[in-house]
Structure 1
Amino acid sequence: MADLPSTTLTSEITKFQPTNTNDGWFHYPVRVYPHHTDYSGVVWHGMYLTWMEEARVECLRTVGMSFEELVSAGVDLPVAEMSLRYHRSARMGDDVLVMTKLVPDKVRLNWEYQIRTETDLCVTATVTLVPVDFEKRKLLRSLPSSLEGAIAKLAGI
C-alpha cells in the first residue's frame, strides 16, 4: 500500500479536528457521506443523534474524561430526556458542524446542541444525561469526582 504524503493527510485531519471555543461551545465537524443519508441524499433524521453523541463523548475526552474511564469507574450516563427540533436537512457532501455545550444542573448533565452547515441551521437539541451506578442501576446522588473535574474544565472554556 502506497504511503500518502504526510502534509496532505495532516492538513485534511487538522481541518476536521474537534475544538473547544472561547464561548463555551465544542465544535465537532462532520462530512456527510452516503451512508448518513436516505436514497435521496438527505441526512437520515436519526443520524443527527449519532453525531450528537460523538460530539458529547469527544468534548468530555478533550478535558480528560474518556467514556471508557466512566465505565471502568462503574458509572453510566443514560439519556433521561431529549428534545430535538429539525430546521433544515443536511445533504450528502455537506460539511456539518455539530456544536455542543454542557449546562450542568446538580447531578443532571444538560447538553445543548446546534447542528449547522456553512449557511443553515439544521437541528437544535437538548439532551439530559443522569449518572447511574452501572451494576446497581441506581441513580447516583452526586457526580464522580473525575467527572466533576471535567465539568469544571468545561466551565472554564
Structure 2
Amino acid sequence: MTHGAFEPLLGVDRYTDAGRLRADDLAVRSYAAELLARAAQRIGEAVVDYQRSILPPSTREQPFPPAELKLPMDVGRRCQQRYTAVADRLRNAPFPPDPKKAWKRLRGPGAAQLLELDQVLHRQAELAAGVIEGVSAPSLSELPVREAESALADLTRTLDERLSYLSGL
C-alpha cells in the first residue's frame, strides 16, 4: 500500500531493487567524493597556514610577497581546485534515467562488473586522498602535485568507464 510513498521524502525508493541500486550508487559516489573533499580541505588549510606563517607581512616598501615564496601557495590552491572539481563531478554524476531497466540488465555478471568498478573507484579515491595525507604549511613546497594529478586522472577515467557502463545498460 505504501510502496514508493516515501520516495519524495527520502529521495530514493529503497523498497525496490532499482531503488536500492540507486541508493548504492549514491553511497559509492558520496564516499569517494567525501574523501576528495576532505583532501581538498586539508590542502586549503595548509595554504592558509602557509600564508599566515611563512609569507612575510606586507609593507609599504614591499606590498606583495616575493614570487618564489608565493609559488607553493599558488600550486596548493590549484591542486585544491582539482580535488574539489573531481569531488563535485563524483557527486553530480548522472544515473541512468530508468533505474528499473538498468537493474534488470545488471543482474548476474553486470552487477559483478559494477561492483568491480565501484571497488576500483573507492581504492583510487583513497589513493588520491592518501597522496596528500601529510600536507602542512612547511611541507607545502614539496606537495606531490604530479602524483596527485595522476591519481585524480585515474579516478576520473574509472568514473567515466563506470558512467559509460551504466549508460550503456
TM-score, length of structure 1 as denominator length: 0.26
> Normalized per residue, which structure has more strand?
1
* Higher-RCO chain (CA-CA 8 Å, sequence separation at least 6): 2
| TM value normalised by structure 2 | 0.25
Higher helix share: 2
